[in-house]
Chains A and B, each alone.
Chain A
Amino acid sequence: MSKSDVAIADTGPLTFNGFCEIRWHGRGGQGAITSANILADAAYRAGFKGVTSAPSFGAERRGAPVTASTRLSAEPLRIFSQVECPDVIVVLDESLLVTARATTGMKPRGRVIVNSKRAPDALPVPEDFIVAAADASGAAEELGLIIGGAPMVNTAMLGAVARATGLIGLDDLDEAIRNAFSAKAAAKNFQAAKLTYERTRM
């Protein structure tokens, strides 16, 4: 199992024992499921033999809180039950930190990666966790990733995940994004991820 070369100096890469669970929190229509799937693809490209990603099962309503979970493993995965105790959560809409109690069930010292203009220590996250913040909405807006009047933050946030966990590298992300979108859309989405990667603060 190789790990990404990308590490963040002050916290180091995520402690990884061959198994990692990441839960995504977004609102219906924000693309949490798509980015959870892209993360699985990128992780496979990065060398994880076992990757799965699944939405919270059932009907999805635009605007309502949704979750999706990505599970990564050094070995092919045999379990498909729902993720209960994630190592990492990715929050596309910071209001969900409070209203959806996004950190529920998280492992101690888990990472909380939030789409926010605010500094990590200004976010309402319990002290047990390591917080990273990135203005994915800003990056998406700068690149014109607007659908239905709202910035598409999901792919941008993948840059923050790469930066804050070290689980995947930007080149893995580039490849996975290209697998998910047309060439033109992929370029723009990757740019947003890269920009967000650079702006991630911990």
Chain B
Amino acid sequence: MLRKNKGARTVTTNPDVHIITGNKAAAEAARLCRVQVIAAYPITPQSSVVENLAKYVDSGVLDAEFIAVESEHSAMSVLIGASMVGARVFTATSANGLAYMCEQIHWVAGSRLPIVMGCVNRALAAPWNVLNDQQDSMSMRDAGWIQIFCRNNQEILDTFIQAFKIAETTHLPVMVCYDGYILSHTVMPVEVPTQEAVDAFLPPYKPHTVLDPAAPRNINPVTLADPRPNADGVLCHGYMELRHLHHAALREAIDTIVAVDNEFGAAFGRSWGGLYWDYLRADAEVLLMAAGSLASEATAAVDALREAGVKAGVIGLRAYRPFPDDAVADAVAAAKVVVVFDKSLSYGYEGPICADLRAALHGRATSPAVHGYIGGLGGRDIKARELVAATCESIEWMKKNTGRKGTGWVNLQL
């Protein structure tokens, strides 16, 4: 990097790098993916995603229909309709907005529509709280969507572009999850690729089924549990077979997520680890695991732990559904303990990522202990030093105890 003291500037920073929020990065991605129909309803902290898109549509930068609906349920309904006739569609929401569209979240997945949605993670009411945790998207984990978490704004932009490709390859909807405020409202450097580069990576959407009077179909009618013959006597799937195919597609998506991230890396010079990413994992005895921006914060905790002589590392989960059980179980196999930090809770049990990791490790000949911590609920700030403290607590516990450690809470002040 050069810099001249007087006269013309010679600092050479990349002109394609913009200092933007996560929400702006999401909107830029949707623009670059040439989405054709956008429907949205305002909710904090999502709103500026669609405000930016409305601006692009109004000013003619993006050739799309922007529909300002009267609710999140209708936002997703509009997208379902538009996707059914073959349009590429987009929306974003948060927290109670996601909860309100819950019925349609399931409808989209059951319809196998390649809808991409941003979930700007926020705490669910009651009581009201507009700040970050991940309870909202976690509460939709069993709806049949792909869910990918992002750690910074560059990853948000890149993941949305990947998401359309993943969705249109697998015929599955993708929820791109990123932390409200912590990423959505924080500016940081983001390289915005050119339209040409994105066009080369993401071809126009070719739907597999289109509603058209020229070839009439009745889509999603009543479907019985058992297979039934069609008018030509050919036996067709029952409801249960359709569910099996849906599940199988999600399991196959594990490979697609990796392949698309690799392909993206080859095209743009950046990739994000596919299913998960790691930091100083190779010799780590203690692994800190989280999803989203907290996993990034954990790398600073690991630096501090390493300085104190603890061989620590990070596993950052990108794909939460499908859950990359084998990949993650392999990745943590050599560690002594995995300390999982969940920003959400399966009430009455434990953190969902922690529970899923335990299940993934079950039955393996050797596997690390898994300790779960809940933190960051309702926007409670989590600092690297608090991650360090929780990790040290886990290590101390291991010295004195065996068996299963109960769920810990980061910075709980009862």
A interface residues (Cβ-Cβ under 8 A, vs B): 1-2, 5, 37, 40-41, 44-47, 49-55, 57-59, 76-82, 84, 171-172, 175-176, 179
Contact = CB atoms under 8 A, between A and B. Distances in A.
Contacts of A171: 9
A81 B13 contact: no
B377 to A, nearest CB: 14
B130 A80 contact: no
Interface string B171-190: 00000000101110111110
B159 interface: no
Contacts of A59: 44, 130
Contacts of B16: none
B233 to A, nearest CB: 60
A44 B131 contact: no
Interface in B286-334: 293, 296-297, 299-300
Interface in B178-216: 179, 181-183, 185-189
A80 B293 contact: yes
Contacts of A81: 297, 381-384
A54 B18 contact: no
A44 B13 contact: yes
B230 interface: no
Contacts of A52: 186-188
16 contacts: A2-B1, A2-B11, A40-B19, A45-B11, A50-B189, A51-B188, A54-B185, A58-B131, A79-B384, A80-B152, A80-B183, A80-B186, A80-B293, A80-B296, A176-B19, A179-B18
Nearest to B385: A81
A5 B7 CA distance: 12
B13 A80 contact: no
A37 B189 CA distance: 11
Contact of A44 (B6, B19, B381, B384): B19
A40 B188 CA distance: 8
A53 B22 CA distance: 12
Contacts of A84: 383
A51 B379 CA distance: 22
A81 B380 CA distance: 10
A54 to B, nearest CB: 4
| 3 shortest interchain CB distances as A-B pairs | A54-B186, A57-B181, A41-B19
B152 to A, nearest CB: 8
A77 B384 CA distance: 13
B181 A47 contact: no
Contact of A57 (B6, B131, B187, B384): B131
Contacts of B381: 81-82
B17 interface: yes
B413 interface: no
Nearest to B8: A171
B401 interface: no
A78 to B, nearest CB: 5
B364 interface: no
Contacts of B297: 78-81
B19 A54 contact: no
Interface string B75-112: 00000000000000000000000000000000000000
B269 to A, nearest CB: 15
Residue among B2, B9, B187, B379 with most chain A CB within 10 A: B187
A142 to B, nearest CB: 27
Nearest to B180: A57
A51 B189 contact: yes
Interface in B1-30: 1-3, 5-6, 9, 11, 13, 17-19
B296 A78 contact: yes
Given A37-B19, A54-B187, A47 B1 contact: yes
A76 to B, nearest CB: 8
A107 B298 CA distance: 24
A57 B3 contact: no
Nearest to A81: B383
A201 B393 CA distance: 49
A28 B182 CA distance: 20
Contact of A78 (B11, B187, B299): B299
B185 A57 contact: yes
Contacts of B130: 58-59
B3 A79 contact: no
A80 B182 contact: yes
Given A2-B3, A79-B384, A80-B296, A46 B11 contact: yes
